[in-house]
Structure 1
């Protein structure tokens, strides 16, 4: 009899890795019956014809977001004290004192943080969150779905969504094994482990070490190194389009070489538009000296701001816009969801660009998978003023300490150097690819093409136990 696996999508971030890649097909080839336990507004049945059980009750306890914020602050406080490192304070978002209601809420949160800033306090707060979520109608709703469908295992596609807590508690209370996939390369040090699972799947040995370092209640036997399906589409040559076809499809000039500017969200890079302007200026200057190059601007898929518009208008000769193929299905940022078609688009942007430029994005790995270099902008803009976040803070984060050398990426630390760095990369005199590949292996594992296979092998190991 086939084992039934629920692939749980608490939000849309797991769609790209676990619905649009070959992950499902690989699992079915191994004999599993796969159902998507879908908490999103995106219908996998309508779009892809996949079996799904929709979660229509989205009720979290009203105090869960508050206690989740308390948990995050306490974990960061404990990490700062434990490792004697001030970087953990930079992961916190500022409190709001706007109005009486926000002020009272902030004072209450800070009071509970003060009383619980210890490892025992973390456990108390986590227990409180679990108790709150067990009291919700969603917990009972999800429990009933599980009792009806009787999956042998629930695989949660991200560990960081509060929407997943009640559903996973319901599974654990029914003695159904729960696996949580650690979604992103920076999540563990940032205290983004919202759920408590029976097992954790991580990208690499580095991430496994981090899980055990930051969460002493997790045992080594609970953590499996699998890799991530995030980069598998870059090795799927069925997605590749010829230069001629891709350029015609996107109104690009075949005589030009293109540089990709990969946009960031407003929180990470609030002055991102000015880095795009700097790149466009460098390209315009180089073209005046005989080069024939352009910029492909791919925005951050969840960026809905208009902050780039003036730059795009002023440099329309240099910049071509190729928007991500994501779909807006609601008003919130987490309701802007990826599509399967975007995997092919990103694959071809990487394949047909000379290199990528951005602020601290993991697109460095997307491009190094295609043997393409990356420039990280790492200088202040003159528009920086009090209240605007300096991007230099990003590069001090823990996950950037995984770089084997400073040559793992090309850092542009002065805008006056940008034109020369662009020229050197175009002339094959400057590249981060050799050390970038070493960094890629440290972060994503040695075999990025086998992540889906590894995940199913780990699921099989758990079920056999």
Structure 2
């Protein structure tokens, strides 16, 4: 009899890796009975044809968001003390005290942080979160679904959402094995893991080390090193168009070479539009020297601000905007859903541009997979003022310490250096690809095309 696997989607983040890749097809070919336990608005059955079981109850305990916010802040305080750092707390963002409700929540969080920022206090908060979530109607609802459908394992695609807590607890209380996938390279040092399943699937040995370091309640026997499906599409040559087809599809100038500017969200880079403008000015300058260049602007899929509009209009002679093929099915950032078509679009942008300019994102790995360089902007803009977050702190984050050396990316530290560096990359004199591939192997793992297969191997190991 086929083993029944519940692929749990607490939010839309897991769709990209586990519904829109070959993950389902591989599992089905291996004989697994796969159902998407779906807590999102996305219609798995009608859109993709996969079996799904909808979770219609989304109730959290009124105190859960308070305790989960406090847990993160306490853990980051603990990390700073334990490792004699100050950087961990830069992962925090200011709380809101506007209005009675927000003020109450934030003051309660402050009290917990002031009194529980130690090993004993964090453990108390962790147990309290489980206790209150077990008392919710969502927990009882999920438990009934599990009792009815009796899966052999629940595989959670994202450990961050509060919506994941009650369903995982319900499964564990019924004796059903549970596992989660660490979906991003910065999840662990940011103290964003809110669930405690039986097993963890990580990208690499480096991430395994991080998991053991930051989640001391996890043992090495609970961890499976598998890689991530996130980058598999970059190694699928069947997705690539010819240069002429790609240029025609997006109305590009056949005589130009293009540079990709990959936009950031407004939190990471609040003045991102000015870096796009700087790149456009460098391209204009180089075009006056005889180069024939353009910029492809790919916006951050979850950025719906209008902050780039004036730059796109002013520099329309050099900038072409190619939007990601994502679509909103809700109002929050994790309800902006990717599409299969965007895998191909992103791979083609990487393949048909010269390099990428960006601020501190994992796009460095997407481009190095295509043997292309990544230029990280690392200077501040004159528009920076009090109340606006500077970009420099992004490169101080713990997850950037995974770099084998600073040569793993190309950094520009001064606006005046931008044009010479762009010229040097275009002329083949500067590249981060060699060291960038070493960084890729450290963070992503050495077998990026086999991640989906390895995850199923891990599931098989658990179910034996």
Range into which the TM-score falls when normalised by the shorter chain: over 0.9
The residue number in structure 2 matching 1:109 is 109
Against the structure 1 CA distance between its residues 8 and 100, is the aligned structure 2 distance closer, same or farther, given a 3 Å change threshold? closer
Cα distance in structure 2, aligned partners of 1:143 and 1:133: 12
Residues 137-164 of structure 1 show CA distances to partners (whole Å, capped at 9, x for unaligned) of 1111111111111110011001111111
What residue in structure 1 maps to residue 61 of structure 2?
A: 61
Question: In 1, Cα distance between the equivalents of 2:237 and 2:59?
Answer: 42
CA deviation after TM superposition for structure 1 residue 101, in Å: 4.1
Which residue pairs with 2:79 in the alignment?
79
Q: How does 1:204-223 map to 2 (within 5 A)?
A: 204-223=204-223
In 1, the alpha carbon distance for the partners of 2:131 and 2:40 equals 24
How big is the shift at 1:186?
0.6
Per the TM alignment, residue 100 of structure 1 is displaced from its structure 2 partner at its CA by 4.4
CA–CA separation in structure 1 for the residues paired with 2:308 and 2:368: 26
Shift of 1:340: 1.2
TM-score (norm 2): 0.99
1:429 aligns with 2:450: no
CA displacement at 1:30 relative to structure 2? 1.4
Q: Which residue of 1 aligns with 2:448?
A: 448
In the alignment, structure 1 segments of 5+ residues that lack a partner are none
What displacement does 1:105 show? Answer: 2.9
Q: How does 1:198-209 map to 2 (within 5 A)?
A: 198-209=198-209
Instruction: Look up the match of 2:309.
Output: 309
| Paired position in structure 2 for 1:33 | 33
The corresponding residue for 2:179 is: 179
- Aligned runs of 1:127-146 on 2, under 5 Å? 127-146=127-146
Count residues with an aligned counterpart.
464
> Which residue of structure 1 aligns with residue 389 of structure 2?
389
Show CA shifts across 1:298-317 (max 9, x none). 00000010000000000001
Partner of 1:7 in structure 2? 7
1:97 CA drift (Å): 3.0
> 1:245 maps to what in 2?
245
Q: Show the counterpart of 1:328.
A: 328
Shifted more, 26-35 versus 66-75: the winner is: 26-35
The alpha carbon displacement at 1:107 in A equals 2.3
Separation of aligned partners in 2, 1:452 and 1:95: 38
Q: Which runs of 5+ in 2 are unaligned?
A: none
Q: What residue is the counterpart of 1:47 in the other structure?
A: 47
Q: Is the 8 A contact 2:45 2:52 kept in 1?
A: yes
Task: State the alpha-carbon separation in 2 of the partners of residues 159 and 230 from structure 1.
Answer: 16
From the superposition, tell whether residues 137 and 100 of structure 1 become closer, same or farther in structure 2 (CA, over 3 Å). Answer: closer
Cα contact 2:66–2:108 (8 A) shared by 1: no
1:404 corresponds to 2:431 = no
Query: Take 2:384 and 2:129, find their aligned partners in 1: how far apart are those partners?
Result: 39
1:86 is paired with a residue of what secondary structure? coil
Q: CA deviation at 1:103?
A: 3.2
Q: Distance in 1 between matches of 2:141 and 2:104?
A: 33
1:197 matches 2:194: no
